[in-house]
């Protein structure tokens, strides 16, 4: 595969640079192009998961091992997407694979509690103090829908407060307005990282609100960490007004042994989890205060029913149990997050040296990269900088992805990435070197487009 273009080859203007980089991508990936075209016959735009779409077509991946993935055209990349944080353990982790094989041999549709369900539940409780009781489901989306529905059922109030830019799943998405397929709960949209505004909004609507749902770091909005001041102010206001605080740690729970709630000393009423907790298999989890969650006790006369054929799907229960009890030690998790801190510091140092209008965001093993100058606390900050520059920013993101793919680094178009337990120091250095090269060859274009 071609490496990154040299400074001498770098194009004179952004539009032709993007066109050339895209032409190189198309030429290098004929089999991905063929499969993408073929998929259009049955899947809208060839796609069954919007997150995975990028133009002109996404790479189709054939297999993965350790920290690497190999596409259908035979290129191998260092994986900095890691299944959007669900791939925490790296690919082909042997302990998890053994657990899956054992469970598979014993049958997968048992129609009964399995021996693994309570093991995984206890492992999660050991890490997340807020989980006095919990229930499993099949995705982070489902976990959030169930948490909100639970809050509505137990408080008898209908409303939900959310934050612009928040992503809580396909039917609870508040980026640049609300998704047309959102569940039609009455919603109050407030401003992330603006404690005064959030508390005022909550106070004004407390009588109608069942819950506030918030990510301690907004993921899809670009890895924007919530400040401790903001999150604690929200928690205090929820408590003062009897509104339940739902902390969506579907993406961020990997950022410390007890998630970001542990790192920040938060005590949410309800917590949602997903992604890696099933060892790489399909899962979601919602839980929290015993007095709230015990409403799901089927023996109670006022029990809330919550079925779900695959709530305890045995492969995920077995894989998650093995992953959390045998693979995800505190030491390994801390090392991964420290490696992520080093990556982000490295990215930031290269940006500072270049003087370009970019910045790295995130916490621990999750990172974002932005073509943005000035404060970046929330969606409003991002939109204010992008106003009048959106086409240039979109072009630069494309260029970044094509250049980095050509250098063997598997990265997203929106530049939101993460490390796994098996991402090595050398691989972090490799990403930093590729980014340095990108700044060298494309720095003139970035300056021209944005300054």
3-state class of 64 per DSSP?
A: strand
Return phi, psi of residue 132, to 5°.
Answer: -65, -35
- Return the residue nearest ligand PLP (CB atom): 140
Binding mask 52-91 for ligand PLP (x = CB under 6 A): --------------------------------x-------
Measured CA to CA, the distance from residue 303 to residue 290 in angstroms comes to 13
Exposure string for 420-439, b = 16+ CB within 10 A, e = fewer:
bbbbeeebbebbbebbbbbb
DSSP state for residue 326 in the 8-state scheme: I
CA quadruple 34, 396, 370, 61: dihedral, nearest 10: 10
**Considering the complex, what minimum distance in angstroms separates the CB of residue 170 from ligand PLP?**
7
| Least distance in angstroms from the C-beta of 425 to ligand PLP | 27
Closest distance to ligand PLP from the beta carbon of 423 (Å): 19
For ligand PLP, the closer CB: 144 or 191: 144
Q: Does 219 bind ligand PLP (CB under 6 A)?
A: yes
SS3 368: strand
Nearer to ligand PLP, 115 or 171 (CB): 171
Q: Give me the least distance between CB of 168 and ligand PLP, in Å please.
A: 5
Which range of residues in 115-123, 245-253, 324-332, 337-345 is near ligand PLP by CB under 6 A?
A: 245-253
Among 11, 114, 144, 418, binds ligand PLP (CB under 6 A): 144
- Residue 141 binds ligand PLP, judged by CB under 6 A: yes
For 178, counting Cβ atoms within 10 Å of its Cβ (0-12 exposed, 13-18 middle, 19+ buried), the class is middle
* Near ligand PLP in 267-296, by CB under 6 A: 274, 284
**Residue 1 to residues 29, 72, 277: CA-CA distances in angstroms?**
10, 14, 35
Task: Decide if residue 215 touches ligand PLP (CB under 6 A).
Answer: yes
Query: Is 347 one of the binding residues for ligand PLP (CB under 6 A)?
Result: no
User: According to the binding rule CB under 6 A, does residue 169 interact with ligand PLP?
Assistant: yes
Residues 234 and 358: their CA atoms lie apart, in Å, by 30
Question: Phi and psi (nearest 5°) for 410?
Answer: -85, 105
**Nearest partner of 149 among 33, 293, 50, 10, judged by Cα:** 293
User: Binding pattern to ligand PLP, positions 121-140, x when CB under 6 A?
Assistant: ------------------xx
Cβ proximity to ligand PLP, 33 vs 250, nearer residue: 250
Rounded to a whole number of angstroms, the minimum distance from the CB of residue 140 to ligand PLP is 2
Tell me the DSSP string of 413-425: TT-EEE--TT--H
- In this complex, which beta carbon is closest to ligand PLP, that of residue 17 or of residue 244? 244
Contact between 253 and ligand PLP (CB under 6 A)? no
Q: How far is CA 141 from the centre of its chain?
A: 12
Residue closer to ligand PLP, measured from CB, 11 or 85: 85
Should residue 313 be labelled a site residue for ligand PLP when binding is judged by CB under 6 A?
no
Q: 245 CB contacts (<8 Å, ≥6 apart)?
A: 211, 212, 214, 234, 235, 238, 239, 268, 269, 270
Shortest distance, CB of residue 277 to ligand PLP, whole angstroms? 10
CA-CA distance, 14 to 154, in Å (whole number)? 54
**Quick one: which of 71, 93, 123, 248 contacts ligand PLP (CB under 6 A)?**
248
The β-bridge partners of 209 are 159
Which range touches ligand PLP (CB under 6 A), out of 27-35, 193-201, 214-222, 355-363?
214-222
Q: Does 117 bind ligand PLP (CB under 6 A)?
A: no
In the complex, minimum distance from the CB of residue 62 to ligand PLP, in angstroms, rounded to a whole number: 23
Question: Site residues (CB under 6 A) for ligand PLP?
Answer: 84, 139-141, 144, 167-169, 215, 219-220, 248, 250-251, 274, 284
């Amino acid at each position: 595969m071609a490496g990154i273009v040299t400074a001498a080859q770098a194009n004179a203007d952004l539009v032709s640079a993007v066109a050339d980089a895209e032409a190189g991508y198309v030429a290098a990936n004929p089999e991905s192009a063929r499969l993408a075209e073929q998929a259009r016959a049955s899947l809208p735009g060839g796609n069954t998961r919007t997150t995975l779409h990028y133009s002109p077509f996404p790479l189709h991946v054939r297999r993965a091992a350790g920290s690497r993935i190999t596409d259908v055209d035979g290129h191998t990349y260092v994986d900095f997407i890691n299944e959007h944080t669900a791939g925490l353990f790296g690919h082909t982790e042997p302990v998890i694979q053994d657990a899956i094989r054992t469970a598979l041999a014993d049958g997968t549709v048992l129609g009964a509690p399995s021996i693994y369900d309570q093991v995984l539940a206890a492992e999660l409780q050991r890490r997340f103090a807020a989980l006095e009781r919990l229930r499993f489901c099949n995705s982070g989306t489902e976990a959030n829908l169930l948490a909100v529905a639970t809050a509505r059922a137990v408080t008898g109030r209908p409303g939900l407060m959310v934050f612009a830019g928040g992503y809580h799943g396909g039917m609870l998405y508040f980026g640049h307005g609300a998704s047309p397929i959102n569940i039609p709960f009455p919603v109050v949209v407030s401003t992330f990282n603006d404690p005064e505004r959030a508390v005022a909004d909550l106070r004004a609507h407390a009588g109608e609100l069942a819950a506030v749902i918030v990510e301690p770091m907004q993921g899809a909005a670009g890895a924007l960490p919530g400040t401790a001041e903001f999150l604690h102010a929200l928690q205090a206001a929820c408590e003062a007004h009897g509104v339940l605080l739902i902390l969506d740690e579907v993406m961020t729970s990997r950022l410390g042994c007890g998630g970001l709630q542990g790192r920040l000393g938060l005590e949410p009423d309800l917590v949602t989890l997903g992604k890696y907790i099933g060892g790489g298999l399909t899962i979601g989890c919602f839980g929290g205060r015993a007095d709230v969650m015990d409403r799901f006790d089927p023996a109670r006369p006022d029990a809330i029913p919550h079925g779900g054929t695959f709530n305890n799907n045995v492969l995920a229960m077995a894989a998650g149990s093995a992953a959390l009890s045998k693979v995800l030690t505190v030491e390994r998790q801390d090392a991964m997050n420290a490696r992520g801190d080093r990556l982000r510091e490295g990215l930031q140092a290269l940006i500072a040296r270049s003087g370009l209008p970019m910045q790295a965001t995130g916490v621990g093993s999750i990172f974002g990269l932005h073509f943005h100058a000035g404060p970046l606390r929330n969606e409003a900050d991002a939109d204010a900088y992008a106003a009048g520059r959106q086409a240039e920013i979109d072009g630069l993101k494309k260029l970044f992805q094509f250049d980095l793919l050509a250098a063997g680094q598997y990265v997203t178009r929106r530049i939101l990435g993460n490390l796994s337990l098996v991402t090595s120091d050398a691989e972090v250095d490799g990403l930093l070197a590729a980014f340095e090269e990108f700044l060298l060859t494309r720095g003139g274009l970035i300056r021209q487009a944005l300054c």
